[in-house]
Structure 1
């Protein structure tokens, strides 16, 4: 079973006098909510986690949801990068593009990613680090590895449907926590759009 969680860092607090109601996409993704994240296989008692303190956790949650959809889309992507970077840019995950549907795919059809003949790849990169979190999908299963894992350590493996569900739950739970902590954030139009784009499954 997949569990995704986070912690906020006291070493990298949000800038003072931040207006959360009017913060734009760049600020919400790169300048605020620094901390660490983990993805855990609770049955195998194994996890992938960061320990940097500077990782923008909302950006990670956003990029993870985008990455899950990228693994499900067709044709195969040339690059599945999603960025998580304090002060950098997030190539491919600006937040304005709606979820993709492959040409000819109709609602209710099995997405191309689950019936692709070969593996599909995507990754989340971290601009302040050379490390990346990598995703490989084969049919309905996704292997997740990280460059900072010990050599020879097996990947975390989850069903794509579970990864999508847990990624979206993580995003919504995180937004609920952040809007409770920061006055005005719940009224930010970017937050409204993000919640609508990735509804709970």
Structure 2
């Protein structure tokens, strides 16, 4: 089972003058909603997590959904023996998560934890959990920030990655 989560940072709050209704994609992805994220394999009781406090959590959820689709470009899908690669780079760092899909499985490694064995997830389950995480995160952020639910970029994001 996959668990995705986040916590918002108190050290890096959003600017108080932010108009979430009109915030552009760059601000939504890189400047707002900073905190930490984790990706866990509940069955194995292992996780990859950040502890930096400045990771843009909406960008993480957005990029994760993009990556899950990127590693699914082989038309043979789960029958493909060819490895599909993707990286999730963190905005203010050289650190990244590496995703490798072969057959129906995705291995996730973090370059800041090179000695840790990869987390391994079923691709369909990872797609479902990534999209659920994105929608749950957006719902939480909309509850906290007036106007965010009226932002066209958020509407576009939700329609691009509907729940599975």
User: Structure 2 length normalisation: TM-score?
Assistant: 0.97
1:66 is paired with a residue whose SS is helix
State the Cα RMSD in Å. Answer: 1.0
Stretches of structure 1 that go unaligned for 5 or more consecutive residues are 75-110
2:100 counterpart of 1:136:
yes
The answer for unaligned runs of 5 or more in structure 2 is none
Structure-1 separation of matches of 2:5 and 2:48: 11
CA deviation after TM superposition for structure 1 residue 130, in Å: 1.5
CA distance in 2, matches of 1:117, 1:11: 45
The separation in 2 between residues aligned to 1:171 and 1:44, in whole angstroms, is 23
Is the CA contact 1:132–1:147 (under 8 Å) kept in the aligned structure 2?
yes
Instruction: Return the alpha-carbon distance in structure 2 between the equivalents of residues 22 and 126 of structure 1.
Output: 24
For the Cα contact (< 8 Å) 2:30–2:91, is it kept in 1? no
Q: Please report how far the alpha carbon of residue 146 of structure 1 lies from its aligned counterpart in structure 2 after TM superposition.
A: 0.2
1:171 aligns with 2:134: yes
Aligned equivalents of 1:17, 1:60: Cα separation in 2: 24
Moved over 3 A (4+): none
CA contact (8 A) 2:35 2:54 kept: yes
Larger helix fraction of residues = 2
Deviates more, 1:62-71 or 1:123-132: 123-132
| 1:185 partnered with 2:155 | no
Partner of 1:69: 69
The TM-score, its normalising length taken from structure 1, stands at 0.79
